Structure 1
Amino acid sequence: MDPELVALASSAANTVVGLLATDGWEQVRRGVAALWRRVRPEQADIVEAELVEARAELLRAREAGEDQAEQDLTAEWRARLRRLLAADPALERDLRELLAELRPAEAEGGEIRRVDMRGTASDNARLYMSGGDMHITGQ
Structure 2
Amino acid sequence: MKNFLIRFNAPQVDIGLLFLRVSGAFMLLHVHGWPKIVHYSHELTVIEDPFGLGAQFSLLAAIFAEVVCPVLIAIGLLTRFACLPVLAVLLVSMFIVHPQWSIAEGQFGWLLMVIFGAIAFCGPGKYALGSAIGRKELS
Same fold (TM over 0.5): no
TM-score by length of 1: 0.35
TM-score by length of 2: 0.35
| Structure (1/2) with the larger helix percentage | 2
